[in-house]
Amino acid sequence: MSAAQYGADGSAPSEQYQRNVNVTASPTKFSKLSALYSENGTSAQDDVTKGAALELTPLLNTHISAGYKYIQSGAGGVLEIKDYAAATKLCRFFSFSGKYRDRQNQDDNAPDTTAVQLALAPIKTWTFTGDYQYNPEDASGAVLSQKATTLGTNLRIGSVALTGGYTTLDQYAANTLSNQCSVGVAVPVFKRGQLSTGFKMSRNLAGTELSSKTYSLGYKHSIGSDFTLALSGDFTRYIQDQMMDELTAHASLGIKF
């Protein structure tokens, strides 16, 4: 796609264009190669992206990948990105995945990103999970200057489900540290209903300490096979310089098409 545009000073028009090329190949059933080339801008100033990636499946339920991307903006900035990832689930009770993104720019101040997830299930009804995120990206691709660690557990005893979790969040750029712990119980009632209750405690440390405690109660009921009625309520108490309470309630009706 191209279009003629005049400069701000009324100079001769420059051509606006966009070029994208993507190539994918699978030389074997265990490997996949891909490459891309993209240009977007004008003949005087454009953004260029070049990259390649390799994906391997050496074992069942095991994936390994590596990639490289070179991004040059029309303003003259250059960013190089190297990606490494691995994921495996060799057996029912163990799974692991990890990603590492190495960023390099001309100022050598681009942050790197690390993500690790782990799940252990010593028995079918009991699972432990762990998650570590360092400088993650949000939905728009912006890097968040933070470090988060989450531990969780899920236990089912008959028809009763128990959950628990603990999270720490270090927003080091803002010098803010917070943590949160939670527990929950879900019990079936009235054949098609489920009663749930939970407790969550949060604490933020930013100059003055702010903490909160939330008590929740909910009920979900299936009406036939197509409708689900859900009712829930939360009571939260905030404590900082003074105490403040908040009460919320929710109701929803789900329809299955």
Contacts of 55 (CB under 8 A, 6+ apart): 31, 32, 33, 34, 63, 64, 65
Q: Same domain, yes or no, for 138 and 226?
A: yes
Rounded CA separation 24/30 (Å): 14
**Strand ranges (E), the chain:** 2-5, 14-25, 31-42, 46-59, 62-72, 78-91, 94-105, 113-123, 126-134, 147-157, 160-171, 176-189, 193-206, 208-223, 227-239, 243-255
Q: Quote the pLDDT of residue 14.
A: 61
CA dihedral 241, 246, 164, 98 (to 10 degrees): -80
Q: Same domain, yes or no, for 138 and 66?
A: no
pLDDT (tens digit per residue) in 7-50: 455 554 567 778 899 999 998 989 999 999 998 877 667 888 99
Q: Same domain, yes or no, for 100 and 37?
A: yes
pLDDT band at 207 (very low <50, low <70, confident <90, very high): low
Nearest to 98 by CA among 51, 57, 64: 64
- In the chain, % helix, strand, coil (3-state, to 5) comes to 0, 75, 25
Q: Same domain, yes or no, for 226 and 249?
A: yes
Rounded CA separation 118/129 (Å): 6
Nearest to 197 by CA among 219, 212, 213, 179: 219
Q: Same domain, yes or no, for 203 and 155?
A: yes
Rounded CA separation 158/208 (Å): 44
Q: Same domain, yes or no, for 97 and 139?
A: no
Q: Same domain, yes or no, for 88 and 139?
A: no
Token code pair at residue 113: 């990103």
Instruction: Tell whether pTM > 0.85.
Output: no
Q: Among 110, 140, 170, which residue terminates a domain?
A: 110
Residue type, 211: S
Query: 132: domain range?
Result: 122-257
Q: Does the pLDDT value for residue 233 go beyond 50?
A: yes
Residue 187, domain member (yes or no): yes
Residue 255, domain member (yes or no): yes
Choose the weakest-confidence range: 1-5, 66-70, 186-190: 1-5
Q: Same domain, yes or no, for 167 and 251?
A: yes
Q: Quote the pLDDT of residue 1.
A: 45
Residue 115, domain member (yes or no): no
Residue type, 59: L
Residue 135, domain member (yes or no): yes
Q: Same domain, yes or no, for 97 and 190?
A: no
Q: Same domain, yes or no, for 26 and 106?
A: yes
Residue 117, domain member (yes or no): no
Total domains in the chain come to 2
> CA angle, 32 as apex, 31 and 35 as ends, to 5°?
150
Residue 116, domain member (yes or no): no
Q: Among 110, 140, 168, which residue terminates a domain?
A: 110
Q: Same domain, yes or no, for 31 and 91?
A: yes
Q: Quote the pLDDT of residue 11.
A: 53
Residue 83, domain member (yes or no): yes
Q: Does the pLDDT value for residue 160 go beyond 80?
A: yes
Q: Quote the pLDDT of residue 25.
A: 94
Q: Same domain, yes or no, for 42 and 145?
A: no
> CA angle, 186 as apex, 183 and 189 as ends, to 5°?
155
Rounded CA separation 83/55 (Å): 11
